[in-house]
């Protein structure tokens, strides 16, 4: 098998031949050749409820897009779409996402990184090293610019230039050396910056770089962008593709397209900000087109087997925001075209406080209706929150941001609690016999 651009530390992939996991125990082809067209999931239905406590490092392995390895505990028939019943999912299962093995179901959800030159520096290496040491199985980087025109918009990571690949490689090597996975989050900022940043910096930016779907005032930053043109739309898409190819070269395990939180791609999904009358607006399909075509561009740059994720808002929490049914349809289309996972988020103008999964209902509906895996992010604070998300919704992964900002060892604490719960359940079961 010849090596290609898409060869990753934990997988071999060729455009024609599919992927093969290299870790022991992954003998067969895991990812089918290109032109993946997983069957569309059926309508929402009641969750299976087969109780089984998590067993720590369960050997259960979920195959790509719904294929399932034999379930070792022998009590869990696969659901009609091939996934394990929700109650069979352990927080610390090892799973496969697009042919790449993930150590557990917990993602560190993206948290913006501060850097002046776009390169991960010593502070980022320290942070990501601590997160990996603390048991975070998969880490999504902070939002990372794809277009050099947006250099200077925010002091965050960049994959907009080849010269930055080496610095990103140092970050991915570090995370891999600790057994975790790392995904690069790609963003086109558009007109959405923090108000503070906008007042301080945007007056110095070239007017031409501030773009939004219809040139309406950004309600958050107050920025006054202009309407993006069709050729600039194509540029945004190809910039995502180029950055994704750099992410592959830099050793990332996958990329996440940021189509949430008021950045350019998510603005296309907002009827209030997208008043376009061309192919990129005017109807649900029109509003979804930008995200869909950006995904296609990224997919064609990275090949069929490389994990591609997308973060979306399931609700914006204000009038004129996205419509859940439209987001769901977008995610169904993305799933049909091979998107590996959708991360559900929302209400980004004011991230809700408090505990308990914020978007459980929407994520559950999403998970029941699409074949891409769902990462539920927002409000997960305890092992019980996580179990509820796995048991009552068919989500596959759990995204956590703020708890890990406070405590990089948060995941290891959940792991200890999970083991204790499994031991108590086993003790109770044997006492009952």
Ligand X SMILES: Cc1cc2nc3c(=O)[nH]c(=O)nc-3n(C[C@H](O)[C@H](O)[C@H](O)COP(=O)(O)O)c2cc1C
Note the residues at the interface with ligand X (CB under 6 A): 109-112, 142-143, 185, 258, 260-261, 311, 345, 351, 377-380, 400-402
Q: Which is nearer to ligand X, 11 or 158 (CB)?
A: 158
Distant-in-sequence, close-in-space partners of 134: CB < 8 Å, separation ≥ 6: 404, 407, 408, 409, 410, 411, 412
Nearer to ligand X (CB atom), residue 92 or residue 107: 107
Which residue lies nearer to ligand X by CB, 112 or 215?
112
Q: Which helix (H) or strand (E) holds 388?
A: helix 383-392
> CB 424 → ligand X: shortest distance, Å?
27
CA 110, distance to chain mean position in Å, is 9
CB of 251 to ligand X, least distance (A): 20
Tokens linked to 248: 């592959």
Structure tokens at 402: 């703020």
- The alpha carbon torsion through 134, 144, 101, 259 (nearest 10 deg) reads 110
Residues found in the chain: 433
Supply φ then ψ for residue 151, to 5 degrees. Answer: -55, 130
Q: Between 310 and 370, whose beta carbon lies closer to ligand X? A: 310
Is the CB of 113 or the CB of 365 nearer to ligand X? 113
* Euclidean distance between CA atoms 342 and 47, whole angstroms: 20
CB of 275 to ligand X, least distance (A): 25
Task: Quote the least distance from Cβ 186 to ligand X, whole Å.
Answer: 10
| DSSP string covering 300-362 | HHH-TTS-EEEEEEEE-SSTT---HHHHHHHHHHHHHTT--EEEEEE-TTS---SSS-TTHHH
Q: Which is nearer to ligand X, 227 or 407 (CB)?
A: 407
How far is residue 210 CA from its own chain's centroid?
26
Residue linked to tokens 């090892």? 94
CA separation for the pair 205, 257 (Å, rounded) = 24
Q: What is the secondary structure of 220-246 as a DSSP string?
A: TT----EEPPHHHHHHHHHHHHHHHHH
The bridge status of strand 373-377 relative to strand 341-346 is parallel
Q: Closest Cα to residue 341, out of 96, 3, 152, 165? A: 96
Minimal distance in Å, beta carbon 24 to ligand X? 33
Residue indicated by tokens 């089918």: 32
Nearer to ligand X, 93 or 113 (CB): 113
User: Nearest-CA neighbor of 287 among 320, 254, 310?
Assistant: 320
Element (H, E) at 432: helix 410-432
Which residues face 144 on adjacent strands?
Answer: 186
- CB 363, min distance to ligand X, A: 12
CB of 321 to ligand X, least distance (A): 16
Q: Minimal distance in Å, beta carbon 292 to ligand X?
A: 19
Of 32 and 378, the one with the shorter C-beta distance to ligand X is 378
Q: Supply the minimum distance, in Å, between the C-beta of residue 31 and ligand X.
A: 26
> Looking at beta carbons only, is 11 or 377 nearer to ligand X?
377
């Amino acid at each position: 098998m010849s090596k290609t651009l898409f060869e990753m530390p934990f997988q071999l992939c060729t455009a024609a031949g599919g992927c093969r996991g290299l870790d022991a125990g992954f003998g067969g082809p895991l990812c089918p050749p290109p032109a993946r067209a997983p069957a569309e999931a059926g309508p929402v239905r009641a969750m299976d409820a087969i109780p089984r406590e998590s067993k720590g490092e369960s050997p259960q392995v979920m195959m790509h897009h719904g294929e399932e390895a034999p379930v070792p505990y022998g009590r869990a028939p696969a659901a009609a779409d091939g996934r394990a019943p929700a109650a069979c999912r352990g927080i610390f299962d090892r799973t496969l996402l697009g042919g790449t093995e993930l150590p557990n179901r917990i993602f560190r959800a993206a948290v913006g990184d501060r850097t002046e030159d776009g390169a991960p520096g010593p502070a980022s290496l320290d942070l990501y090293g601590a997160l990996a040491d603390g048991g975070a199985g998969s880490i999504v980087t902070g939002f990372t610019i794809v277009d050099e025109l947006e250099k200077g918009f925010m002091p965050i990571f960049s994959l907009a230039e080849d010269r930055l690949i080496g610095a990103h490689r140092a970050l991915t090597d570090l995370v891999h050396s600790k057994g975790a996975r790392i995904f690069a989050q790609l963003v086109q900022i558009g007109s959405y910056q923090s108000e503070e940043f906008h007042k301080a910096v945007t007056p110095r930016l070239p007017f031409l770089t501030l773009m939004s779907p219809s040139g309406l005032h950004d309600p958050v930053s107050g920025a006054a962008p202009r309407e993006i043109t069709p050729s600039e739309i194509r540029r945004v898409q190809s910039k995502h593709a180029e950055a994704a190819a750099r992410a592959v070269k830099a050793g990332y395990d996958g990329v996440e397209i940021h189509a949430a939180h008021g950045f350019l791609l998510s603005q296309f999904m907002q009827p209030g900000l997208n008043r376009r009358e061309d192919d990129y607006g005017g109807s649900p399909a029109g509003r979804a087109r930008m995200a869909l075509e950006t995904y296609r561009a990224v997919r064609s740059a990275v090949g069929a087997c490389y994990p591609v994720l997308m973060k979306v808002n399931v609700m914006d929490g204000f009038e004129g925001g996205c419509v859940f049914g439209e987001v769901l349809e977008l995610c169904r289309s993305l799933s049909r075209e091979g998107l590996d996972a959708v991360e559900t988020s929302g209400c980004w103008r004011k991230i809700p406080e408090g505990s308990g999964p914020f978007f459980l209902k929407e994520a559950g509906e999403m998970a029941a209706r699409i074949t891409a895996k769902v990462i539920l992010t927002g409000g997960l604070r305890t092992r019980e929150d996580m179990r509820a998300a796995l048991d009552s919704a068919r989500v596959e992964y759990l995204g956590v941001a703020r708890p890990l900002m406070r405590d990089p060892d948060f995941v290891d604490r959940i792991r200890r609690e999970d083991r204790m719960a499994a031991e108590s359940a086993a003790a109770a079961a044997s006492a009952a016999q």
